[in-house]
A and B are shown apart, each in its own frame.
Chain A
C-alpha cells in the first residue's frame, strides 16, 4: 500500500491484470473514503436540518422572543403568533395517549414475555409489529369516519353522565377534540410500548424469576415484584420512545383534533397540536413572519422529540445492558 508501483511502470503495462490487482490494493483507502463520505452525508443532513430550522425561524424568534411560548393568540391576519395553544394541545393529546397506551402495552408485554409460549409470543409480536407499520393516515381515516361519530353519539355522552362532575368531561360533545385525538394516538403507540417492553422484560435474567419462585412466590408475584421492577428503567424508556412518537404524530391528529387553537380544560373541546398546525397552515402561509413562526414551531417540536428520544435510548440501554448484554437496536 505504501509504494505506488504503477507510476514506475511503462504505460502499456498499466492495464495488465497484475497491475490492476495491485491498484485494487490501494482501493482499501478509496473504499474507506467512500463509505466515510456516506456516513458524513448523514451527519451533514442532520446538521443542515437544525441549521435550516434555526435560520428560517429567525424573524419570529427576534420578534417574539420567549413570549412566543406563553402567548395564547394565534392571529395570522394581525401578525400575532403565540405557540401556547399548540404546545398545550400537543401535551394534552400525548398525555391522554400515554394514559391509555402504557397499561395496555405493558400489560400485553408482560403476557407475551412471561406467560405466552414462545411460538404464540413471537407470532403475536409479529402482529403488533404489523400494527406499528399501519400508515398514520389510515388511522386518521378510521378516526374521522368511525371514532368521531362513535365518540359524539355514545362515548362522550356516557362519560358526561358518569364523570361529568370533573371539568375534564364537560361541554358539548362534538366528537372531535383532545380525547378523540388521544385515543387514536394511543392505538398508534401501543405497539411501540409493547414490543420494547417485551424486549426489556425478556432481557431480565432467568435466575431472578427462579429465585422468586423458589421462595414460594406465585408466578404473578415473581413477575410483578421482581421482573417488572428489574426492567423498570427500560419500560420507562419505552414510554419515552412512545411519547416522542405521539408528540410528532401528524396526520391522524390533524384529522380528528378539531383544529381550533384554544386552551380548554375539557377533553371534549376541539384543540390543535404543533404537528397539526404545521400540516394545515404551512403551505398556505403568506408572509415571512407567518412562515417563520411556523418554522419556529417545527424547531420546538424537533427539540422536544430530540430530548425525549435521547433520554429513551439511554434508559433502554442501561436496563438491557445490565440485564443480559443483549442490546435491542
Chain B
C-alpha cells in the first residue's frame, strides 16, 4: 500500500470514529441527566411528596400535591382548547381545503410552532390576565393550549393524508358523503397516529415553564376553581431551584425527577406502542 492510501484509510477510520463519538456524547447526555436526577432527587421522593402541601422552610415533610394537581388542570385546559382546534384544522387541511388557504394555514402553524414560549406567555398575559386583572389557571391553560394547536394540526393533517385513497373510494362507492367518509372511515384509520401526536404535544407543554410565569403564576396552597392562580410543577422547580434555601433545592430535585419521569415515560410509551404501525417515525 502506498503512503497515500494508508493516509486515506486512516483518515476514514479516524473521522468516522469521531462522528461515532459525537453521536455517543449526544445519546449519553440523556442517560446522564436522568441518572443525575435520580441520584439527587430519588431520596426525597415519598408518599408525602405526592399528597401533601408545601410546608414552611425548615419544617420537615411537605410535598407538592398542589403543583401536581395544578399541572394536571393546566394540561386538561390545554387539551380541551388546543386539541379540538388542531384536530379540526388538520381535517380542513387534509380533506376540505383548497389551495391558497391551506398553504397560509400550514405556514402560520409552522410559524406559531417556532414562537418562543415566553412570547406566548406575554401574549396570554395581554389577552387574558390584563382584562381579568389577576393571574389564573385559565390564562395558563390558554397559553399552553396555543402551543398545542400547531403540533396537533400538522400531525393530524399528515396522518389523514397517509390514509390510502382506496379507503375513501370504498366509502364513497357505498354512498357515503364526504363528511361521513371522513368521520367514520378516514379518521378512525388515522386515529392512532393522531392520538400519538396529541399526547406528544401535551407532554411537550407539560414541561413548559416560561408561558406560566405570568399567567398561572404560582400558589402556595390549593387553587380552587379555574379563576385563581395555581402552582405547577415546572414553575415550582424554577422557583425552588433559584431560591436561597437548601430545603427548597432538595424539593426542586425531587420535583424535577417527577416531571422528567412523567415526560419521558409518556414519550417512550407513546412512541413505542401507540405509534407502532403508523408512519410516526417520519415525524
Cβ of A103 within 8 Å of any chain B Cβ, yes or no, is yes
B-side contacts of A302, CB under 8 Å: 115-116, 119
Q: A135-B259, A329-B154 are in contact. Are A187 and B116 (CB under 8 A)?
A: no
Q: Chain A interface: which of B45-53, B55-63, B200-208?
A: B200-208
B-side contacts of A305, CB under 8 Å: 114-116
The answer to whether A42 touches B89, judged by C-beta atoms less than 8 angstroms apart, is: yes
Cβ of B117 within 8 Å of any chain A Cβ, yes or no, is yes
Encoded as 1 (CB less than 8 Å from any B CB) or 0, chain A from 103 to 135 comes to 111111011101110000010101111110111
Encoded as 1 (CB less than 8 Å from any B CB) or 0, chain A from 83 to 113 comes to 0000000000000000000011111101110
Q: How far is the CB of B35 from chain A (nearest CB, A)?
A: 11
B211 (CB) vs chain A CBs: closest residue = A250
Q: A49-B115, A122-B281, A134-B260 are in contact. Are A110 and B238 (CB under 8 A)?
A: no
Q: Give the docked Cα–Cα distance between A261 and B97 (Å).
A: 48
A-side contacts of B87, CB under 8 Å: 38
The answer to whether A53 touches B16, judged by C-beta atoms less than 8 angstroms apart, is: no
The answer to whether B89 touches A133, judged by C-beta atoms less than 8 angstroms apart, is: no
Q: How many residues of B contact A (CB 8 A)?
A: 96
The answer to whether B19 touches A31, judged by C-beta atoms less than 8 angstroms apart, is: no
The answer to whether A136 touches B207, judged by C-beta atoms less than 8 angstroms apart, is: yes
Cβ of A166 within 8 Å of any chain B Cβ, yes or no, is no
A-side contacts of B67, CB under 8 Å: none
The answer to whether A141 touches B108, judged by C-beta atoms less than 8 angstroms apart, is: no
The answer to whether B177 touches A24, judged by C-beta atoms less than 8 angstroms apart, is: yes
B-side contacts of A309, CB under 8 Å: 110-111, 114
- Which B58-101 residues have C-beta < 8 A from chain A? 84-89, 91-93, 95-97, 101
The answer to whether B260 touches A135, judged by C-beta atoms less than 8 angstroms apart, is: yes
Cβ of A39 within 8 Å of any chain B Cβ, yes or no, is yes
Give which listed residue, B84, B118, B123, contacts A279 with CB less than 8 A: B118
Q: How far is the CB of A324 from chain B (nearest CB, A)?
A: 13
- Which A295-329 residues have C-beta < 8 A from chain B? 295, 298, 301-302, 305-306, 308-310, 313, 328-329
Encoded as 1 (CB less than 8 Å from any B CB) or 0, chain A from 43 to 85 comes to 1011011001100100000000000000000000000000000
The answer to whether B23 touches A221, judged by C-beta atoms less than 8 angstroms apart, is: no
B208 (CB) vs chain A CBs: closest residue = A135
Q: A108-B22, A137-B209 are in contact. Are A247 and B238 (CB under 8 A)?
A: no
B-side contacts of A141, CB under 8 Å: 37, 237, 241, 252-253, 256
B-side contacts of A46, CB under 8 Å: 108, 111-112
Extra inter-chain contacts (14) besides given A39-B101, A298-B119, CB under 8 Å: A35-B92, A38-B92, A39-B153, A42-B153, A53-B119, A111-B20, A115-B20, A134-B207, A137-B237, A137-B238, A138-B33, A141-B253, A310-B111, A328-B282
Binding site for A on B (CB under 8 A): 8-9, 11-12, 15-16, 18-23, 25-27, 29-30, 33, 36-37, 40, 84-89, 91-93, 95-97, 101-102, 104-105, 108-112, 114-120, 122-123, 125-127, 146, 149-150, 153-154, 158, 177-180, 182-183, 200, 203-204, 206-210, 213-214, 217, 234, 237-238, 241-242, 249, 252-253, 256, 259-260, 263-264, 267-268, 271, 281-283
Q: List 22 A-B contacts (CB under 8 A).
A: A28-B179, A31-B179, A35-B95, A38-B87, A45-B146, A46-B112, A110-B22, A111-B16, A133-B207, A135-B208, A138-B33, A138-B37, A144-B241, A190-B29, A194-B23, A220-B12, A224-B15, A248-B119, A251-B238, A279-B118, A283-B213, A294-B122
